Every structure is written in C-alpha cells, then in structure tokens.
Amino acid sequence: MIRIENIYKSFNGFEVLKGISFQVEKGEILALIGGSGNGKSVILKHIVGLMKPDQGHVFIDGKNIGHLKGNDLEEIRGRIGFLFQNGALFTSFTVYDNVAFPLREKTKSSEKEIRERVLKELDQVGLAGAENKYPAELSGGMIKRTAFARALVIKPEVMLFDEPTTGLDPIIAHTILDLIKSLHEHLGFTAIIVSHELSRVFQIAHRVAMLHEGRIWTVGTPEEILSSKDPVVRQFISGVTGGSLKLY
C-alpha cells in the first residue's frame, strides 16, 4: 500500500535521510522508532507530500505522490489521516467544529448527518461531552484524542501517527495507544506510528522499523527486534547511554 524507495533529504546542507526504503502492506501497523532528530516525522511528511524528497519516490497504491497535483493529490490525501505531534487543532474552533470541519468542507452531508458522525467519533475516542470546549481548555491527552477523532471522521484507509504519546503521562499514553489498537481492529486502517513508547508500541505493531544515521537500520517483527543482537538496536531499546548511538 505504501512504498518508499530510496529517499534522500537534506536541510541546509545537513543530510537527514540517506536512502530510506521500506513498505507497509494494507491493514498493517508499522512502528517507526529511532533517536530524536533522526527524521521519523520527516518520513511521514514525505508520505503525504508535505515535503518533497531530494531523491527517491513515495508510492501509495502505486501512485507516485511526488508527481501528483491538484485533485489527484487531494484525492490521495483524502484517504490519509494524519495525527500531528501537537494535534494541530484549529485553535479558534471548538472541539465539535474541529471534527466537523473536514465533513463540512469536503462532503455534501447535511448538518444533521455531520452532527451524528462527529458525536459518534468523539464518543469513540472518549470525548463525549467535550464538544463545546476550545483547544486551549483541553489537556494534552484530550488534544490528541480530538485530533484523532478529526482524522478518523473522514474514514481514512491510512493513519499516520506522529508521536501520538509525546508529552503525555504514562497512563494517558497507554490509553491513546490502546485506542489506536482497538480502532485499528474495528476499522482496519493501515498505520505508521512514530513513537518512543516502545513497550506498548511493540504490543500493537505488526512490524517495527528502526531509523539510525539516516537509514533504516533494521526492520522486523517486534519479537525479532526485541531479540536482536545488534548493539545499536539493543542500546536504543534498553535506553543505555554511552554506546554507538548519537544523541541529538
């Protein structure tokens, strides 16, 4: 479903991605792990065409994202939900209006139908009753869940999660990851999760790809990664300092 071929990307002369290639099958959850500043979020932004690679290609269902424009790009993006690191909620809208926005603008649904859909999604992410709140009144976990509801309301085939648990306490972080797992089982979307919440992510991902030094260092099932003898992988999983992993 998603195929990334040999992507290179530099920022101000600093090469972040040095030939990234991997693919994600339909219905699969891939966890993308690696040190901070290694370009995990950059990869997600390449998948949706918010960034263009210096070299290489991204394909979704065989369509090269870099070559799509106008309606074709909109059509592909309409099938992808993206959960930003900070939620990226519209701060001047209420929770309800945030979730309703894509429906109002992209569909011909009546306000009654929109209301039903929005309330259903908010209920699904555990935010029933919070529809009249503004983002400034929400906790970190509620912001992520609102953003999740907004992404889900378009019924995406692909969900991209950019650090969905960053900045949350362990209980809320686990709640969010459990929510991703249960909604994946229910809706069957394809997903890529960038997260540092390794123990929980390893429980919900089908495969794990580790990014290191601008390359995919290793890919495998969570069991394979956990039993890896590679010193870099071992150091990252155990969180020990002073090894071959560079910190940014």
**CA nearest neighbour of 228 among 243, 203, 244, 208:** 208
Here the tokens at position 1 are 């479903």
- Of residues 105 and 185, the one with the C-beta less far from other proteins: 105
Q: Which of 68, 88, 172, 187 binds other proteins (CB under 8 A)?
A: 88
Residue (48 or 216) nearer to other proteins, CB = 48
Q: For residues 85, 63, 26 and 229, what is the CA-based torsion angle, rounded to 10 degrees?
A: -70
Distance in angstroms (rounded) separating the CA atoms of residues 22 and 39? 14
Residue 66 contacts other proteins per CB under 8 A:
no
Q: How far apart are CA 147 and CA 123, in angstroms?
A: 13
Which of 78, 126, 140, 220 is close enough to bind other proteins by CB under 8 A?
78
Cβ proximity of 134 and 181 under 8 Å? no
Q: Which of residues 33-62 bind other proteins (CB under 8 A)?
A: 45, 48, 50
Q: Which position among 82, 96, 161, 189 is part of the footprint of other proteins (CB under 8 A)?
A: 82
- For other proteins, the binding residues in 153-172 under the rule CB under 8 A are 154
- In the numeric block, which tokens belong to residue 224? 């394979």
Q: Exactly one of 4, 40, 84, 173 binds other proteins (CB under 8 A); which one?
A: 84
Who contacts 79 (Cβ-Cβ below 8 Å, separation ≥6)? 60, 156, 157, 158
**Between 49 and 214, whose beta carbon lies closer to other proteins?**
49
The distance of closest approach from Cβ of residue 245 to other proteins in the complex, given in angstroms and rounded to an integer, is 26
User: Residue 135 or 214: which CB sits closer to other proteins?
Assistant: 135
91 binds other proteins (CB under 8 A): yes
Are 83 and 151 contacting, i.e. CB atoms less than 8 angstroms apart?
yes
In terms of Cα–Cα distance, which of 238, 246, 235, 241 is closest to 213? 246
Q: Which is nearer to other proteins, 85 or 218 (CB)?
A: 85
Interface residues with other proteins (CB under 8 A) are 45, 48, 50, 73-75, 77-78, 80, 82, 84-86, 88-91, 101-102, 105-106, 154
